[in-house]
Chain A
Amino acid sequence: MSEDIEKLYKDMAQSIIDGDSDISVELAQKAIAINMPPLDAITKGFVVGVNYIGDQFGLGEAFLPELVMAGEAMKAAVATLEPELLKLGEARETMGRVVLATVEGDIHEIGKTLVGTMLSASGFEVTDLGVDQPAEKIIGKALEINASIIGLSALLTTTMVRQRELIEELDKENLRPRIKVMVGGAPITRDWATKIKADGTSEDAVGAVKLAKELVGKA
């Protein structure tokens, strides 16, 4: 392998560590221009940076903004490479697909957004539907993209009941255990998750990643 390619991989990793989407996109375009296999660019370049930041975060040396910015830079690079992957009929190996949403009637989302970022950074393919989402829309999206996990957020005691309704709906349609359900939000306790027969809950984004990995059998 030439030194130039070595250097390109290093720069790719560094662009993620720096959380610089402009540079990560530029490097992804460069990879396409020199006919670098897009999967190589991802696994030997960009992912190295994501893993580094993840490790630093685990050690308490990096903090949430760095993680989020690394996640954004990664997303931008992958989006640039995606058309090439499709052309080659290749798919990036992911930990699994996750649909995230805040339940109907609730507009709180910072926690859910954090979970989404952390899951993306950890190799999950995340579709975040946003806030105030009815159950049928969330389930519809999960089926459409063949998701393994639905993550449901609620901040209010008055809206957290929607989590139960969605789980009941999945059960009615016999979609479980094919689709696992993680619930979260400030009022959500372990007891609540058990009571509504969710597959798990976590109070923070780090725990959510751990849980998601367990749910897809890749812990």
Chain B
Amino acid sequence: MSHKKIKTISDPKIKLEVLTKEEIIKIHEATLNIIENVGIRFPSKRALEIWEAVGADVNHDKKIVKVKPYLIEDALKQCPPKYVLAARDPQQDLPLDGNHVCLGTDGCGVEVIDINTGEKRTTELQDVRDISRVADATEEVAFHWVPVSAQDTPAEARGLHELKAVWENSTKHVQTESIYNVEEAKASMEMLEILAGGKDKLRERPMLSLMQCTAPPLGHDGGSLDAALIAAEYGVPTGFMTMSSCLTTGPATMAGTLAVGNAEVVAATALLQLAYPGAPVFYAAALTATDPRSGAYTGGGPEDFLFGAAVNALSDFYNIPLSMGSFATGAKEPNWQAGLEGGLSTFMASVVMSDMLLGCGFLHGSRIWSYAEMMMDCEIFSIIHKMMQGIVVDEETLAMDSIASVGPGGHFLAQKHTRNHTRDLFMPQFLDRRPYTLWEDKKDDARDWATAKAKKILKEHQPDPLDEKISKEFERIIKSVEKK
């Protein structure tokens, strides 16, 4: 079936060096210096105990930990450099091996442009289901984040409702950013165990990964740390995402912000390795610059694009996979700004082979979901996918016979070589190349076609269903977490 196919970027022909080896080492040394002398805040009893046990300098009042560089560096050496993000359908497993760039949906929004009314409204559980189903049908989306918040479900079990909704509507891997306390983390592991068919199988093929946000600058959230430790215990891939932002949660300078963000991620990653050596971990980042006039955090802009490439240089240095924020935009509609910011950020993150891209679908600083934006982001990813293949130069592609047979004047359209290679060219879905008059008659554009495509998928696409027994078990687990 065509929708089972996933489009990932691999074997790139284009390369970019955004940081030199010396610059990477300088940032790494600054990072170690921060962790050793400034310290990182770990507001979790369990985390502080782990640090204390390995001989780190722990201040229990301030919950600040200072760690010698060798402890950090030794711990990081335990990180597995490669592993697989498993999917409900094994054909859709994603290799995190440094040679695949996989696109995910973005998360976690609070409003959606309703696909039927075109009006903006608060998100609900049904939106999680619908978006997951559309993502399941597209070949560009390789895995899910929980795209929007199920605000009509009880807060204490919301992350679980969302997980269930995604699993019931797609066979692709799920990476949740919405499980950040002990209860939900334990419950999600229980759900995963049922889905995988046992604890060992869960470890072999983790169909879930967890992403935790850091609390910049130089801190973490207690619930996130505890949830991450639970996931690591189960062998579920876990990553810490820094969203350190020039001017506010980082220095105005990009290098300084990189060092701050890196210190947050590196320290927490080391913690997981100290607790569970060899646990699959990933680096996650959505670094950007705060708007100097308003203090707004929306993502996008040239600093964002540069960070997109720079963070992969760091995660490569530590030899762990990267989940990189891309497609972030402050645009309020799918427009010039959204296309510009989505295109450049995703190109920069892809050209350096970030393993995971987050992600398609959002407007206004990852707050408002738009199906049109999602579909157009997918096309941007496809364009970059095509660009990354570069230009193949060999006997066949130089086409000398064809050139000789056409000669000066004439055209190449009637050449067999031309016909054989026509499909090498990119076939856009949403780029407007029509005659002006055709446009003039309709005045429609990519947004209309993208919305129509999403509508068609919602009407027609039926994902492979989840076993009803598993759904029932999920329900039971969720009920047990909900307050009576």
- A residues contacting B by CB (< 8 A) are 19, 63-66, 68-69, 72, 110, 113-114, 117, 189-190, 202-204, 207
Contact = CB atoms under 8 A, between A and B. Distances in A.
Contacts of A204: 434-435
Contacts of A64: 413, 422
B435 A65 contact: no
Nearest to B410: A113
Contacts of B414: 19, 65, 68-69, 72
B437 interface: yes
B335 interface: no
Contact of A117 (B412, B413, B419, B440): B413
B415 interface: yes
Given A66-B419, A66-B422, A113-B411, A189 B436 contact: yes
Given A69-B419, A72-B414, 12 more contacts: A19-B414, A64-B413, A64-B422, A65-B422, A68-B413, A68-B414, A114-B413, A203-B435, A203-B436, A204-B434, A204-B435, A207-B435
Contacts of A110: 411
A158 B41 CA distance: 72
B438 interface: yes
Nearest to A20: B416
A204 B435 CA distance: 6
Interface string B387-413: 000000000000000000000000111
B151 interface: no
Nearest to A66: B419
Contact of B435 (A63, A113, A202): A202
Contacts of A113: 411, 413
Contacts of A114: 413
Contacts of A202: 435, 437
A207 B413 contact: no
Which of B411, B412, B416 has the most C-beta atoms of chain A within 10 angstroms of its own C-beta?
A: B411
Interface of B is mostly: helix
B418 interface: yes
Contact of A65 (B419, B434, B440): B419
A151 to B, nearest CB: 16
A113 B440 CA distance: 26
Ranked 7 nearest A-B pairs via Cβ? A203-B435, A68-B413, A65-B419, A65-B418, A63-B422, A68-B414, A72-B414
A159 B414 CA distance: 28
A92 B467 CA distance: 63
Contacts of B438: 203, 207
A117 B411 CA distance: 12
Nearest to A131: B409
A18 B435 CA distance: 29
Contacts of A65: 412-415, 418-419, 422
Interface string B409-444: 001111110110011000000000011111010000
A200 to B, nearest CB: 10
B221 to A, nearest CB: 50
Nearest to B433: A204
A207 B437 CA distance: 10
Contacts of A190: 436-437, 440
A68 B414 CA distance: 6
Nearest to A67: B413
A202 B422 CA distance: 24
Contacts of B412: 65
A196 B415 CA distance: 37
A63 B411 CA distance: 15
A19 B435 contact: no
18 contacts: A19-B414, A19-B416, A64-B413, A64-B422, A65-B414, A65-B415, A66-B422, A68-B413, A68-B414, A69-B414, A72-B414, A113-B413, A114-B413, A202-B435, A203-B436, A203-B437, A203-B438, A207-B438
Interface in B434-470: 434-438, 440
Nearest to A201: B437
Contacts of A189: 436
Nearest to B413: A68
B300 to A, nearest CB: 33
Contacts of B411: 110, 113
B2 to A, nearest CB: 14
Contacts of B413: 64-65, 68-69, 113-114, 117
A207 B440 CA distance: 14
